[in-house]
A and B are shown apart, each in its own frame.
Chain A
Amino acid sequence: MVQPEEQEKRPKFSINDHLDILIEILKRLDGPSLGVAACVCRLWCALIRNDDSLWEHICFRHVSVPPPTSVRPVVAALGGYKRLYMGCVRPMLSRLGDSERVRKRVWTQHEVVELSLSLFCVDSYERLGGSGRLGGDASASSLKFLCKPVNV
């Protein structure tokens, strides 16, 4: 996905000098490709790790209506889009893709993100700890059911 080298007439072009273009390109990647891209070099790795807007784009990629502006601060407060995607949206999408019943009805990405937001919120709540009850026992396992192996 790196812009191919221009001909020798022009000065050498390196994408790493133009971070804004790089980010534009990375925004269009999907989750696994982003993961691969993060292995390219330290700069890319740092970018992908720290720039939450990349992950925001992935979450809302196929959503036709752009999300309301109020969503961003909420998600940021709960742990960020990267956490949301990796912890909820991605496992949900893969689980829903596997399930037989999904083939009969199609859920929009929007609905998936909505539900994952709710689950994400419950998860963040559990991680809050503070009260002796939850803290010791479960290490925020409300999303564990998403990680369990699917009996396909």
Chain B
Amino acid sequence: MKRNHEDTLRVGGVSSGYGVGGSRNSGGADLKGECSSMSSGKGKMWVEEPEAGGMDELLGALGYKVRSSDMADVAQKLEQLEMVMGTAQEDGISHLACDTVHYDPTDLYGWVQSMLTELNNSPNDPTELLGSNQIDGPLLAPAESSSIPNIDFENQSQIFSDDDLRAIPGMVACPQTDPDSENSQKRLRSSPIGSDSIPALPPSPSASNVSESTRPVVLVDSQEAGVRLVHTLMACAEAVQQNNLKLADTLVKHVGMLASSQAGAMRKVATYFAQALARRIYGIYPQETLDSSFSDMLHMHFYESSPYLKFAHFTANQAILEAFSGVNRVHVIDFGLKQGLQWPALIQALALRPGGPPIFRLTGIGPPQPDNSDALQQVGWKLAQLAETIGVQFEFRGYVCTSLADLDPTHLETRPGEAVAVNSVFELHRMLARPGAIEKVLNTIKVIKPQIVTIVEQEANHNGPVFLDRFTEALHYYSSLFDSLEGSAAGLSSPSQDLIMSELYLGRQICNVVACEERDRVERHEALAQWKTRMCSAGFDPVHLGSNAFKQASMLLALFAGGDGYRVEESNGCLMLGWHTRPLIATSAWKIPATE
């Protein structure tokens, strides 16, 4: 079984090189031949060490011919085999998954011990066997087998990259419990997947001193695999953080394999994160595509399949409506017009308000189009048609600029006697990529002197200085988000196009958060508290979103299948939409204090 490295170097092809079924062949005794083909195939990422020629003595005593330098690969294959056996469903071998208990193959003493105690039927038996911790045998194996050659062949320890698996927090077989394992367990506390806490392992035993309380090993199940998946992702991110790209590469491939054993949201999240990590490791940074028709389409599907954008639009509209009450000429400046989906509802609400509709002016801001077509004008024309049908006087202006920081307030043509509203849905966080840009934008807003500024942003901190922290936060955030999408599609037999497109839409964000840096990393989400601080220090006062907005939002959420999972929360006048206990997006409204 030779791995195709061409596959893994292909962008996004992290999980493609692994047929889990292929590992079945590795069970035989001919490990030597396979290992050498594997080690030669790994030439690209690993420094080619001269073949030591030394077979592992301990395994040799058992009749296996394995090179010490290949131990990591052996261990990995054993692990794969374990995975397959644990999940095999086909006839003939399904009993491997159901009826067998998997023992750690390197721990003969412990196995014999447990056999003996079973046979003796001592009263301690059940507690000993069942009360033992759920430890991953296969993952013990490589660590242990690696430690053995380390003890005996000290000069070969550098060939063997023991640090591969030592970096996996919580599963280390090294005697010291590293502080990482503590942290990783804390991080995982709020993880959506099952939280079997993996305790720090006892010191790796040599054959002579085994503590009975830690054996034997229990079946691998998918919940546990899910926890391992997260662990491996975190370990990979940590490796990237430490610039240990060799290790990171190994781990990211591991993730691909583990992810294939999962189902549903977790698999998709893991795959997207693995792809993004792979891009970061290989340095294949995605270009910031200006093809906005594609991203608009994804945006559209995301709008339709989940309540997030609708929530954003409806709550912002409610705030704008209330700010505009009693005014006859209104002007809305939309920082990201896209398809203009927010505005029909506002136009209709203005048409039906007591006292009749005002004269409504809309300025839509958008990026330049690669094909020079005027997308903004087309949207404006559609909105004008709608407004005419309903009977609202409407005027539209499109404003093209690459970045909001380039916005010139004098070009916006504010007219006297007009109430202005500034609306930004998921646009402001992009300004944090360039220093000074956000201050410039906020100043521009102040020059415009709006009645109200509505801001909708993701409720997460993906802009911390440390990569690993960002990665962890993003993992939790997008796991919740994908869960919610999965929840609302639960009633359907096959995933709809909307769902797939929405996931792709989110996947691009994930890629940006993880793989890009500096100017390219535009998905710099920050939490509501941070935005509040920023707005307050820029001189804005908060405006409370009323109970109408809350009621409408909660009604909207009740309409979505899976609606029981969505929650609207009110926090000091701001509304947050979340999935179960995790808030995901937040709407807030601001005004300039009157004394200014």
Contacts and interface: CB of A to CB of B under 8 A. Distances in A.
A78 B293 contact: no
A145 to B, nearest CB: 6
B385 interface: yes
Interface stretch (B30-38, B296-304, B511-519, B569-577): B296-304
A128 B385 contact: yes
Contacts of A145: 304-305, 488, 559-561
Interface in B327-375: 339-341, 344-345, 347-349, 351-352, 354, 356, 375
A11 interface: no
Contacts of A141: 304, 498
Given A70-B351, A133-B378, A125 B383 contact: yes
Nearest to B348: A121
Contacts of B492: 148-149
Given A101-B564, A134-B300, A115 B555 contact: yes
A1 interface: no
Given A74-B348, A138-B304, A151-B491, A133 B339 contact: yes
Contacts of B345: 118-119, 121-122
Interface stretch (A30-38, A49-57, A105-113): A105-113
A14 interface: no
> What range describes how many residues of A lie at the interface?
35 or more
A93 to B, nearest CB: 10
Contacts of B546: none
Interface string A111-152: 110110111011011101011111001100110111011110
B559 A95 contact: yes
18 contacts: A70-B352, A70-B356, A99-B559, A101-B563, A115-B556, A117-B352, A118-B314, A118-B345, A124-B389, A125-B386, A128-B386, A131-B381, A133-B296, A133-B378, A134-B339, A142-B304, A144-B498, A151-B490
Interface in B259-300: 293, 296-297, 300
Contact of A138 (B300, B378, B391, B561): B300
Contact of B555 (A71, A111, A148): A111
A73 interface: yes
Contacts of B305: 145
Contacts of A107: 551, 555
Given A130-B381, A131-B382, A111 B304 contact: no
A112 B555 contact: yes
Contacts of B352: 68, 70-71, 74, 117
Interface of B: 293, 296-297, 300, 303-305, 314, 339-341, 344-345, 347-349, 351-352, 354, 356, 375, 378-379, 381-383, 385-386, 389-391, 488, 490-492, 498, 551-552, 554-556, 558-564
Contacts of A131: 378-379, 381-382
Nearest to B562: A151
Given A74-B348, A74-B391, A130-B385, 13 more contacts: A68-B354, A74-B352, A95-B559, A99-B559, A101-B563, A117-B352, A121-B348, A125-B386, A133-B297, A142-B304, A146-B559, A148-B492, A149-B561
A150 B488 CA distance: 9
A102 to B, nearest CB: 6
Nearest to A130: B382
Contacts of B383: 125
B391 A100 contact: no
A22 interface: no
Contacts of B552: 111, 114-115
A99 B554 contact: no
Given A77-B391, A96-B559, A121 B344 contact: yes
A92 interface: yes
5 closest residue pairs by CB, A with B: A151-B491, A131-B378, A125-B344, A121-B348, A118-B345
A78 B390 contact: yes
Interface in A57-94: 68, 70-71, 73-74, 77-78, 92
A39 B118 CA distance: 75
Nearest to B378: A131
A14 B351 CA distance: 43
A70 B491 CA distance: 39
Interface string A15-44: 000000000000000000000000000000
Contacts of B490: 151
Contacts of B354: 68
A149 B496 CA distance: 12
A117 B348 contact: yes
A101 B492 CA distance: 22
B382 A125 contact: yes
Contacts of A102: 558
B555 A96 contact: yes
Contacts of A138: 300, 304
A128 B384 CA distance: 11
A118 B342 CA distance: 10
Contacts of B351: 70, 74
Given A121-B344, A122-B344, A145-B560, A73 B386 contact: no
Nearest to B551: A111
A28 B348 CA distance: 28
B391 A101 contact: no
Contacts of A128: 382, 385-386
Contacts of B349: 118
Nearest to A121: B348
Given A74-B391, A112-B555, A130-B385, A99 B491 contact: no
A119 B555 CA distance: 12
A151 B560 CA distance: 10
Contacts of A115: 552, 555-556
Which of A77, A105, A130, A132 is the most central at the interface, judged by chain B CB atoms within 10 Å of its CB? A77
B301 to A, nearest CB: 8
Given A74-B348, A128-B385, A148 B491 contact: yes
A121 B68 CA distance: 70
A144 B310 CA distance: 13
A96 B385 CA distance: 32
Given A117-B348, A134-B339, A105 B498 contact: no
B68 to A, nearest CB: 54
B151 to A, nearest CB: 56
A79 B344 CA distance: 14
A138 B490 CA distance: 22
